[in-house]
């Protein structure tokens, strides 16, 4: 059972006590990510995340690292399209230290110009590493095909030009604009009392202003888009998909079942046909990215250029026939897979912490595991088939691929789902 307190300035503190564990996972989630960025700010959410570790008025960057290492704790952060999270995992006895350090980083980070310049090189190396990973790169290329020109279609890291243009002052202005009380969720799970967490943050974070949240603009979808990017690599990396439902759509549980059937495991249709039966791929899976007001659903496959035509034909056949391929047995097996996965994930305080925060963001409050299990159990065969027909409409699909263009057949860019 979770507890929730809303501070006078709008900060939401949500906790779940687990007295049988010795750890505490603490996260500060700001509802701001790359989707909220202006064109000249592309990559700034992620860059700010880096700079929060580069020194405060109380601690140097080295001291921040040493404080956690000395206690055997974990300190990290990540940026997504709609949120940025800073989190700690420590022994319960070290919670006061983690809470104090989190406050210091979020309230007193210096953004020193010399540290900003140094971190630009670090982030540029991260960008190069990402561009050298075709499986990662093709997913963002696919998003750009779906939502061209929109922030949802851009990668989170930014571009070399925007990163090099960042300054200490611009970063501080970005934090002042977006790191406001109404956007902040403090989520904490472990051997800790709710009152301890409220006491740790209520006074310190009272200085955060309420802010004024801006609603995201629904992106324009480009139907039937395609894009190929030439890279000197051995495989073709293909993403194929379409816009789907949002995170707030009640059909998300049916989508989870559909996802498990199509590409959610080694017994899935994709894995069995493309890898086990035909031996055309090593890696293939389905994926979804659900946001507050829209989402996307697709499949990934990595294969040799000589197998392009065969892989494409298999995918086309699966998409055309999948409403008729889905059986009651498949639905029940997928539901059991999802139920087991949920229960196993509850053994992690980190997963529980993220579940609290995202439940607050998208569901109006965290859903108890028992409620989620009920939603999964209630999914019917007909609901999955109906959603499959909607998503697998050939007119809605787009694709992106990365690979060695000189080895591909000349008609690759003309292929459509049909």
Active-site positions?
49
Q: 201 and 364 in contact (C-beta within 8 Å)?
A: no
Q: Which residues contact 316 (CB under 8 A, 6 or more apart)?
A: 417, 418
362 Cβ partners below 8 Å, 6+ apart?
247, 248, 292
In 10 A of CB 154, how many CB atoms?
22
Dump the DSSP string for 52-92.
Answer: TTS-BSS--HHHHHHHHHHTT-EEEEEE-SS-EEEEEEEEG
Say whether 171 sits in a helix, a strand or coil.
Answer: helix
Q: Quote the DSSP letter at residue 235.
A: S
Q: Among 342, 320, 321, which Cα is nearest to 260's?
A: 342
CA-nearest of 406, 418, 397 to 145 is 397
d(CA 418, CA 410): 19
Could you tell me if 147 and 244 are in contact, meaning their C-beta atoms sit under 8 angstroms apart? no
DSSP assignment letter at 122: H
Strand order in the sheet with 12-17: 2-6, 12-17, 184-190, 23-30, 84-91, 74-79
């Amino acid at each position: 059972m979770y507890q929730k307190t809303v501070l006078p300035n709008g900060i939401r503190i949500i906790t779940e006590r687990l007295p049988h564990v010795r750890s505490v996972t603490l996260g500060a989630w700001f509802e701001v990510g790359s989707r909220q960025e202006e064109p000249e700010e592309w990559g700034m959410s992620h860059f700010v995340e880096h700079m929060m570790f580069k020194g405060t008025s109380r601690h140097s960057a080295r001291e921040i690292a040493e404080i956690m290492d000395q206690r055997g704790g974990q300190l990290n952060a990540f940026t997504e399209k709609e949120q940025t999270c800073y989190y700690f995992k420590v022994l319960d006895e070290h919670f006061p230290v983690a809470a104090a350090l989190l406050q210091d980083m979020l309230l007193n980070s210096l953004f020193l110009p010399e540290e900003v310049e140094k971190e630009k090189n670090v982030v540029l190396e991260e960008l190069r590493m990402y561009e050298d990973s075709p499986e990662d790169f093709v997913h963002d290329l696919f998003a750009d095909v779906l939502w061209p020109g929109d922030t949802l279609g851009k990668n989170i890291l930014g571009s070399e030009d925007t990163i090099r243009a960042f300054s200490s002052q611009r970063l501080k202005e970005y934090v002042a604009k977006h790191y406001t009380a109404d956007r902040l969720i403090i989520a904490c799970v472990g051997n800790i009392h709710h009152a301890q967490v409220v006491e740790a943050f209520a006074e310190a974070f009272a200085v955060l202003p309420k802010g004024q949240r801006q609603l995201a603009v629904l992106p324009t979808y480009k139907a039937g888009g395609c894009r190929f990017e030439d890279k000197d690599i051995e495989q073709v990396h293909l993403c194929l998909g379409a816009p789907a439902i949002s995170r707030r759509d009640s059909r998300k549980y049916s989508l989870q079942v559909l996802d498990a059937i199509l590409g959610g495991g080694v017994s899935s249709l994709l894995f069995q046909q493309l890898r086990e039966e035909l031996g055309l791929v090593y890696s293939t899976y389905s994926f979804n990215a659900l946001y507050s007001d829209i989402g996307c659903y697709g499949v990934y496959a990595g294969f040799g250029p000589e197998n392009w035509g065969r892989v494409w034909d298999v995918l086309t056949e699966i998409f055309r026939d999948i409403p008729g391929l889905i059986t009651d047995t498949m639905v029940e097996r997928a539901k059991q897979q999802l139920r087991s996965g949920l229960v196993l994930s509850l053994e992690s305080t980190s997963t529980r912490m993220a579940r609290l925060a995202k439940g607050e963001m998208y569901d109006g409050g965290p859903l108890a595991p028992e409620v989620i299990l009920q939603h999964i159990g209630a999914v019917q065969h007909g609901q999955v088939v109906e959603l499959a027909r909607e998503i697998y409409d050939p007119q809605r699909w787009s694709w992106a691929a990365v690979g060695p263009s000189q080895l591909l057949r000349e008609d690759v860019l003309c292929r459509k789902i049909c």
